[in-house]
Amino acid sequence: MLTVIHNVLDKTEVAQFRAHLDKQAWQDGNQTAGGLAKQVKNNQQLADEQSEVAVSLGNHLLRILGNHPQFTAAALPEKIYPPRFNRYQKGETYGLHVDGAMMVIPNTNISLRSDLSATLFLTEPDEYEGGELSIALEFGTQEIKLAAGDMVVYPSSSLHQVKPIQSGVRTCAFFWVQSMVQRQEQRSLLYDLDQTIQTLTKSKVGQKELTKLSGVYYNLLRQWAQN
């Protein structure tokens, strides 16, 4: 799945996020990189990721996601890693990598399996050159650069990179999702079934058929959800 969701934040919210983030102190993201990431990660992150401002912005975004039908239907989220923020300036990049599989949510002992990765853009495409999120998919490579407030959700298992910035600044929020349903092909199938049921509901199909199809949906989810 590679899903683009538009207007997760509206332009006013984007401006507020930017105003807050621009006042924060930023540090070299390579300092906290481990293993192979040390060799490819060259960007900036908040000096204090647990500051009141950072946590508050993250929570605001979590509340929006919790009520977002398209995000919910596509990702079937079980757990969401608290959103974090990064920034790329001229010459900065994050080379080719696959996201780590298991993470511990900071200040808890809750672990999270990264099924999906998400990047929410907080700068407009014309504010910087380069900086495409480049994701190796089945047929060639997809390059993503979205309007501020838009978000892309993609498989954490894909080989991806952020290409070098030629000029300007690129600021984003990012997080990971553990889905109730681990396998992508099963999430896709549930998504198709969900969309079809919603269309049929509007088209006045008999209540009995809708009940049966909705039973199929719930029973597939029940069979596949690992919780």
In the complex, the smallest distance separating the C-beta of residue 81 from a second copy, rounded to whole angstroms, is: 13
Question: Does 141 contact a second copy by CB under 8 A?
Answer: no
Q: Return the CA Rg of the chain.
A: 19
Residues in contact with a second copy, counted by CB under 8 A, come to a total of 63
Question: Does 73 contact a second copy by CB under 8 A?
Answer: no
In the complex, the smallest distance separating the C-beta of residue 1 from a second copy, rounded to whole angstroms, is: 6
Q: Of residues 67, 69, 108, 139, which one binds a second copy by CB under 8 A?
A: 139
Map residues 187-216 to x or -, x wherever contact with a second copy holds by CB under 8 A: --x--xx-xx--xxx-x-xxxxxxxxxxxx
Scanning 9-17, 22-30, 50-58, 106-114 for contacts with a second copy by CB under 8 A, the matching segment is 106-114
Residue 214 to residue 198: CA distance in whole angstroms:
10
Which DSSP helix (H) or strand (E) runs through 93? strand 93-97
If the CB atoms of residues 53 and 210 are measured against a second copy, the closer one turns out to be: 210
Scanning 14-22, 25-33, 94-102, 120-128 for contacts with a second copy by CB under 8 A, the matching segment is 94-102
Question: Does 115 contact a second copy by CB under 8 A?
Answer: yes
String of DSSP letters for 135-159: EE-SSSEEEE---TT-EEEEETTS-
How many residues in the chain? 227
- Residue 96's Cβ-side half-sphere holds a number of Cα atoms within 13 Å equal to 3
- Residue 227's Cβ-side half-sphere holds a number of Cα atoms within 13 Å equal to 3
Which tokens is 221 given? Answer: 């989810």
Question: Does 47 contact a second copy by CB under 8 A?
Answer: no
Which tokens is 119 given? Answer: 């990047």
Give residue for tokens 């509206």: 10
In the complex, the smallest distance separating the C-beta of residue 224 from a second copy, rounded to whole angstroms, is: 9
Which tokens is 171 given? Answer: 């600021």
Residue 180 to residue 140: CA distance in whole angstroms:
29
Question: Does 112 contact a second copy by CB under 8 A?
Answer: yes
Q: How far is CA 93 from CA 6, 132, 145, 167, in A?
A: 25, 10, 14, 12
Scanning 12-20, 23-31, 33-41, 42-50 for contacts with a second copy by CB under 8 A, the matching segment is 33-41
Scanning 7-15, 24-32, 107-115, 163-171 for contacts with a second copy by CB under 8 A, the matching segment is 107-115
Contacting residues toward a second copy, per CB under 8 A: 1-2, 35-36, 39-40, 78, 96-102, 111-115, 137-139, 142, 156-157, 159, 178, 180, 182-186, 189, 192-193, 195-196, 199-201, 203, 205-216, 218-223, 225-227
